[in-house]
Amino acid sequence: MDHPPAARPLRADAKRNREQLLGEARTAFIERGIDAPLEEIAARAGVGVGTLYRHFPTREALLETLLRDRFDALADAASDLRPDPDPGSALTEWTLRFIDTTTVYRGLIGALTATLHDPASALHTSCERMRAAGADLLDRARDAGRVRADLGPDEFLGLVAGVAWAGEQMRRTGPEDRRRLLALLFEGLGETTRSR
């Protein structure tokens, strides 16, 4: 049986360029948000923009590489929280971690929300395991009566994205501010009847 050829390992200089680009992109996105100019990132890494595009054909591909480990950590966190005897508490804790991850770079939450229904997007694919793990925690909280019975995973992530965006827009937000916003959200999600 024929196997596809294995990807050739990067040469030492190419690997060094890639790591330098990732480091400078991380710094630029923290300082200026995800819209930081890619040309500036390449220049700060000491390479041409063509080298950046050889490693990362799109801005989204660069973001996906930077965020993959964080998304995997969120999926793992959901698995770790699953045995919690209080499914509502487990969901709240995971949601706080989700917000911390999705606000690490200004503008990231908007980009992630935009890719939610775009399977062709690198970010969408990278988020898939994390989203499924969060949906499992939501199912458990819903089954335990801790959130509304009619709340679906996409609605939930949309609402949480709204909280993350609100936190991003507030000039100084810390863990307690995010916790308060989430408490308000979960208080509303816990209602079992709709207003007429």
Q: Kindly state the average pLDDT of the residues 105-123.
A: 85
Alpha carbon dihedral 66, 111, 59, 11, in 10-degree steps, equals 20
The answer on pLDDT for 102 being more than 90 is no
- How many other C-beta atoms lie within 10 A of the C-beta of residue 151? 15
Burial code (b: 16+ CB inside 10 Å, e: under 16) for 14-36 equals eeebbebbbebbeebbeeeebeb
What backbone phi and psi angles, to 5 degrees, belong to 37? -60, 130
The answer on pLDDT for 74 being more than 70 is yes
HSE value, Cβ hemisphere, 13 Å, CA-based, for 102: 28
Task: Give the per-residue pLDDT at 191.
Answer: 55
> Which is more confidently placed, 178 or 68?
68
- Per residue in 40-59, pLDDT (tens digit) is 999 999 999 999 999 999 99
Burial code (b: 16+ CB inside 10 Å, e: under 16) for 97-117 equals bbbebbbbbbbbbbbbbebee
Q: Kindly state the average pLDDT of the residues 136-143.
A: 95
Alpha carbon dihedral 56, 61, 64, 69, in 10-degree steps, equals -30
Q: How far apart are CA 141 and CA 136, in angstroms?
A: 9
Task: Give the per-residue pLDDT at 121.
Answer: 82
Task: Give the per-residue pLDDT at 78.
Answer: 95
Q: How far apart are CA 62 and CA 15, in angstroms?
A: 15
The answer on pLDDT for 196 being more than 90 is no
The torsion region of residue 37 among left (phi > 0), alpha (psi -120 to 50) and beta comes to: beta
Q: Kindly state the average pLDDT of the residues 168-180.
A: 71
Give the pTM.
0.81
53 three-state secondary structure: helix
The answer on pLDDT for 174 being more than 70 is no
Q: How far apart are CA 3 and CA 173, in angstroms?
A: 51
